Amino acid sequence: MTSTDGTPRRDRGRLAEALAERHLAGLGYVTLARNHATRRGEVDLVCREGEVICFVEVRSRASAAQGSPLETVGPGKARRVVAAATDWAARHGALDKALRFDVIAVLLDGDEPRFDLVRGAFDADGQACP
């Protein structure tokens, strides 16, 4: 499928994930895994920020005309991220660690990408946090 700017969405998604990972590294995040997928869901980035394991959903758009990429993470998507995150944590002995679900929006409509990071965007039930 091709996006409205003519760029295949998958290519734009991969670019956004790489840009987000680099941006997060600049904020002190350490990447532990990329694209952990299960039958029930996928988490784009698994990172550590200090002692907290962060499961990061990367969302991107080529233009702000359709709104923020953050708006594309609803309860269903959040639950799929939680399912994949739980699987990763179980496989890596991290269920007893502090876990957090973050979302980073990457807007690719200018010369430089713009980022909007929401730490603790949703809880382990997939519900948005205030």
Give me the tens of pLDDT residue by residue for the chain, a chain 130 residues long.
Answer: 444 445 576 778 899 999 999 999 999 999 999 999 999 999 999 999 999 999 999 999 888 778 888 888 999 999 999 999 999 999 999 999 999 999 999 998 878 999 999 999 999 999 888 7
- Residue 129 lies inside a defined structural domain of this protein: no
- Judge whether 130 lies within some domain: no
What does the pLDDT read at residue 9? 67
Is 51 among the domain residues? yes
CB distance 101 to 49 below 8 Å: no
- Please indicate, yes or no, if residue 112 is contained in any of the structural domains: yes
Asked if residue 82 lies in contact with residue 88, where contact means CB atoms within 8 angstroms, the answer is no
Tally of domains in the chain: 1
Instruction: Decide if 127 is inside a domain.
Output: no
CATH code of 43's domain: 3.40.1350.10
Residue 79 in any domain: the answer is yes
88 within a domain of the structure (yes/no): yes
Residue-level pLDDT at 5: 47
Q: What is the pLDDT of residue 129?
A: 86
Domain hosting 62: range is 9-122
Q: Is residue 2 part of a domain?
A: no
Q: What is the pLDDT of residue 2?
A: 44
